[in-house]
Every structure is written in C-alpha cells, then in structure tokens.
Structure 1
Amino acid sequence: MQIRQPILYGSVLCLAFIVVLVAIGGGLFNQSAPWPVQWQHQTFHSLCHQIADRSFWINGQPMAVCSRCIGIYSGFALGWVLLPILSSINITRSAYIKRILVVILLFNFIDAAGDFSGLWQNTLFSRAVLGGMMGSSAALIFVGDFFSS
C-alpha cells in the first residue's frame, strides 16, 4: 500500500507521539517541581480537567491528563501507526468507521453519565480503554486521505 502524503503522515505520527509523551507528565522526566505548575500540566490545562484521582501516576506524580485523555491520545497514536496495515487489508470503509466512532462516542457518554449519576463507578482502566477506542477510531477517519484502496 502506497502512502499518498508520506511527509504529512510521518509528521502527524511524530506529533502524535510527542503529544503522548507530554501528556504522560513530569513523572516520566523525574521533575521535582509540584505537578500543578509543571509545563506538561500547563500545556493541557485547557483540554483536560486534570483531576489527580482520575489520572494514572508515574514516579509519585499524576499524568498531565486524566486516564480517558491519555487513552484518547495514545489510541490516536496507535491507530495512526496501524493505518497502513488496516488499509492494506481493506477493512476501513468510511461508512463503517463513522458508525464505529459514533458508537464509541456513545459508550464514552454512557460511561461518564453512569458514573456521574451514581449508577456505577468507572475506573482508571475503563476510562483509558474507552478513550483509547475513541482515539484509535478517530485516527481511522483519515485512512482515505493517506491510502488508496
């Protein structure tokens, strides 16, 4: 399978992994500053609620984003890596991808609403998995822009 825009594909791939590394937060880099003032947390301040109890912790510090957001960012990066493979086995039709994304968005909404209303309590792991599914399916939307079938 031929990549139509290899420079753009590679650039997005690099940026996706940089976003994931930054989202992991200061614990990855053994920063000593209090986590709320670290540059990683400031970078994502407008994008994520950054509630420490809803974040994975590394080296005694919460990630710069919550578990759902780290799932979204890492899922997008993984989905982007898998684009060439998935396009070569021809399972990425636009209509299916959009339906899958809508269903996954609905699952995330139901999970958040159920937790908010007290029907159940979601976990770091469940939020990360649902976020990862959302991020990877979002990456699949771009398969037609970079690969021909």
Structure 2
Amino acid sequence: MTEPAENYTSQIVLQNLKKKAYWLWGSVLFIVAVWVLIILAAPIAKANELIGISNPIYSFYSYICHQIPSRSFHILEHQFAVCSRCFGVYFGLLLGMLIYPLIRSMDEIEPFPRFWLILALVPMVIDWSLTFFGIWENTHFTRVSTGLILGIACAIFIVPALVELSQMLLIRQQKQMVAAASGDDPATG
C-alpha cells in the first residue's frame, strides 16, 4: 500500500534525524558528565579550602540526597556531594549513556519492555529493605552496585525517548515548512 505524499520523509530529513539523534545523545551525555563531575568537585574543592565552591555544591545536592557521611564515598577525607547509592545511579546513568550507541542503534526508538526497568529497581529495593528491617547492613559496594544497575537501565530507557521526541519535532518542522511553501495552512491540515 502506498503512503500519501504528505507522509513521505526525504532521505535528507532521515540523515538529519540521525545527526540530531547523535547531537542530542552527545548533549545529554555532556550534561550527565558535568553532573557527575560536580559531585566529585565538591570534596576536591573542600580539601583545597575552596569553600565558596564546595558549599554551594553540597547545598544544591542536599535537596536530592541525604548526604549521610557514613553512607558516602570520600576523596581527600571529604565526602562526595551525594551518598554512594545516588552516586551509583548518576555514574550508572553516565555509563549507560556512554555505552548506549555500542549496544543499540540511535535509529532504534522502540523502547525496551518496562519490565526491565522495574527489574533493575529490584536489587535496590531489596538492599534498602533488608537494611530498613534490620536484617543486614548494606555496604558501599551494595549501594553503589544497585545504583549502577538502575542508572544504566534508566539511560537505556531515556535515550530512545529523547531520540523519538527529537524526530517527532524535526518531522513536524519539516511538514510545517512544506505546508508554508505550498501555501497550505498547517493548522488545518
């Protein structure tokens, strides 16, 4: 069955879609990398007595993490800006973003089944629950490991969603340009 002309997507647009997908992936990767580096910058700045840098970082991250010293990694005897579990999630997100193009094409926007995201959350829930109910005390290793699992899983779900969103916006923009060039009103068609 043939497609109507207005549904046609040119090869140039398809190439632009792929370029935009990589640009978007790179942009998000950069943002996540900066996020992780800021977490690491806080203890380094504090160790070098740069309180004007470290204090705002710790203050900002205190809104998203409890920052309990015994549950945090330390650099130069100063704790990270987040606990080990949160660091695992953010570092896992960074790793997931880095490896995504190696395990899946950027053209592939079909999401993985949500079951896998829920499954990635299970180790963290078990680790937290066992400690909460006094069955065992979790460690830096279990907290960061369960965070890494969840962070990587989140990246694998976030990238296709962002790529699909950028594709939808680019195709909509192309259709509006074609409609404007032909004199059609894109709002009615």
| TM-score bracket relative to the smaller structure | 0.7 to 0.9
**What is the rounded CA distance, in whole Å, between the counterparts of 2:68 and 2:75 in structure 1?**
15
Q: Cα offset for 1:3?
A: 5.4
3-state SS, counterpart of residue 38 of structure 1: helix
Q: Percent identity?
A: 31
3-state SS, counterpart of residue 104 of structure 2: helix
Aligned-partner residue type, residue 102 of structure 1: I
**Higher helix proportion:** 2
Give the count of matched residue pairs. Answer: 143
Q: Mapping of 1:37-76 within 5 angstroms?
A: 38-76=55-93
Q: State which of 99, 102, 112 in structure 2 corresponds to 1:82.
A: 99
**What is the rounded CA distance, in whole Å, between the counterparts of 2:101 and 2:39 in structure 1?**
25
Aligned-partner residue type, residue 120 of structure 2: I
Aligned-partner residue type, residue 132 of structure 1: L
Q: State which of 23, 27, 30 in structure 2 corresponds to 1:14.
A: 30
Normalising by structure 2, we get a TM-score of 0.67
Moved more, 22-31 or 67-76: 22-31
3-state SS, counterpart of residue 77 of structure 1: helix
**Cα deviation code 1:3-36 (max 9, x no counterpart):** 55222211111110011011124223333267xx
Query: Please, which runs of 5 or more residues in structure 2 have no aligned partner?
Result: 1-17, 165-189
For the pair shown, the structure with the greater C-alpha radius of gyration is 2
Q: Identify the residue that residue 131 of structure 2 maps to in structure 1.
A: 115
Aligned-partner residue type, residue 11 of structure 1: S
Aligned-partner residue type, residue 111 of structure 1: D
For the 8 Å contact 2:43–2:81, the answer to whether it is kept is: no
**What is the rounded CA distance, in whole Å, between the counterparts of 1:23 and 1:125 in structure 2?**
18
Q: Cα offset for 1:94?
A: 2.6
CA RMSD after TM alignment: 2.5
Query: Please, which runs of 5 or more residues in structure 1 have no aligned partner?
Result: none
